[in-house]
Structure 1
Amino acid sequence: MSLPILSTENILLNAEVNGKEDAIRLTGQVLVEKGYVEPAYIEKMLEREELTSTYMGNFLAIPHGTEDAKQFVKESGITIIQVPKGIDFGGGNIVKLLIGIAGKGDEHLEILSQIAIVCSEEENVEAIVNATSKEEIMAFFEGVN
C-alpha cells in the first residue's frame, strides 16, 4: 500500500525557515491548511519536540503531535517539506527534510513504517532533498509496502 494521503499539494519545495520551531510550525500549518488537523495540533507538535527530538538521522525529522494530540486529528495526513539549506535541530543535527504526520487511531504507526522504509537510505533522503519537482518526491513514496 502506498501512502494514499500524500499528494503534490502536501509537498513544499525549497522552504526556508528560521530554526527548529519555525520548521515545526510550518509543517503543522500545512497539515492544518489541508484539513488533516485542527490548529491546536501545532502546539502539540512543539510539545512533542520538547519531550524528545523528532530528528531521525539522515537529515530527516518527523514532527508529529503528542499522544493526547489525537483529539485534534480530523483525518490521517502527511506533508513533506524540503529545506535544502538545513536547520539545526539541536546537538549539531542538521535537518533538510521534514515529514509532518498526523495519524487517526493507530494509522500513524503504518505511516511511520512506510516513511522509514524510504528514508532509512541516506541516498534516498539526499535525492528527495535535491529533487526539483513534487512528482519526483512522490515517486519515492509510491509503491512502498
Structure 2
Amino acid sequence: MAKPVLSKENIKLNVAIPNKNEAIRYTGDILVQGGYVDAGYIEKMYEREQMATTYMGNYLAIPHGTEDAKQNVLETGISVVTVPNGVDFGDGNIAKILIGIAGKGDEHLGILSNIAIVCSEEENIDKILNATSEEEIMELFSEVQ
C-alpha cells in the first residue's frame, strides 16, 4: 500500500529557520525521514534552487528536486513547514510556508497545481500560518492527497 502523500509526521508548525539553505534541508529531511526520498534528493533540491527560486509569492516557497532527481524519489510525498518569522528566499522574498515536494513520475505536477490552488487564496495562507494542529493543515490539503 502506498504511503499517504501528506501525513501528520510531515507537518511541522512554528519552526524557526535561519536561512534558505536550512529551509531547503529541513523540508527535505522530513521527506528523507518519512521514506519518500533518499538522502541524495536534498542535493537535487539545492541544485533546483540555484536554477531558479522556488519562492512562489504569497509567503510560499515550494522546494523540490531537479528533473533528474526522480531516481532519488521512492514515494510521492510532501512536507509542510510553517515559519512565522519567515525565511529570506532572496530579493526580499520572505517565505513563511515551506512545502517540500517529491513526486514519482509526473505525480508532482498535479500536486503542484493543487497546492497552487490552495495557496492562491490569502484566506488559506492565513489558515496555514495560524494552524495550531497538524489536522488543520491536513484538512486544507485534503484535495492534494
Shorter-chain-normalised TM-score: which range?
over 0.9
In 1, the alpha carbon distance for the partners of 2:104 and 2:135 equals 26
Cα distance, 1:144–1:32 mapped onto 2, change above 3 Å: closer
Other structure's SS at 1:127 match: helix
**TM-score of the superposed pair, with normalisation by structure 1:** 0.94
Q: Is 1:73 the counterpart of 2:73 in the alignment?
A: yes
Cα distance, 1:65–1:14 mapped onto 2, change above 3 Å: same
1:24-35 equivalent positions in 2, closer than 5 A: 24-35=24-35
RMSD over aligned CA atoms reads: 1.2
Instruction: State the partner residue of 1:105.
Output: 105
**TM-score of the superposed pair, with normalisation by structure 2:** 0.94
In 1, the alpha carbon distance for the partners of 2:86 and 2:12 equals 14
In 2, the alpha carbon distance for the partners of 1:17 and 1:144 equals 25
Q: Is 1:129 the counterpart of 2:129 in the alignment?
A: yes
Instruction: State the partner residue of 1:95.
Output: 95
Stretches of structure 1 that go unaligned for 5 or more consecutive residues are none
Q: Residue 111 of structure 2 contacts residue 144 of structure 2 at CA under 8 Å; is this kept in 1?
A: no
Stretches of structure 2 that go unaligned for 5 or more consecutive residues are none
In 2, the alpha carbon distance for the partners of 1:15 and 1:82 equals 6
Equivalenced residue count is: 142
State the shift of 1:144 in Å.
5.6
Deviations 1:82-107 (A, max 9, x none): 10110111000000000000000000
Amino acid at match of 2:106: D
State the shift of 1:138 in Å.
1.1
Instruction: State the partner residue of 1:44.
Output: 44
In 2, the alpha carbon distance for the partners of 1:104 and 1:141 equals 19
In 2, the alpha carbon distance for the partners of 1:86 and 1:24 equals 13
Instruction: State the partner residue of 1:142.
Output: 142
Q: Residue 88 of structure 1 contacts residue 94 of structure 1 at CA under 8 Å; is this kept in 2?
A: yes
State the shift of 1:141 in Å.
1.1
Deviations 1:92-139 (A, max 9, x none): 000000000000000000111111110011221122011111111111
Identity of counterpart residues, as a percentage?
Answer: 66
Q: Residue 117 of structure 1 contacts residue 144 of structure 1 at CA under 8 Å; is this kept in 2?
A: no
In 1, the alpha carbon distance for the partners of 2:73 and 2:141 equals 22
Runs ≥4 residues deviating over 6 A: none
Cα distance, 1:143–1:77 mapped onto 2, change above 3 Å: closer
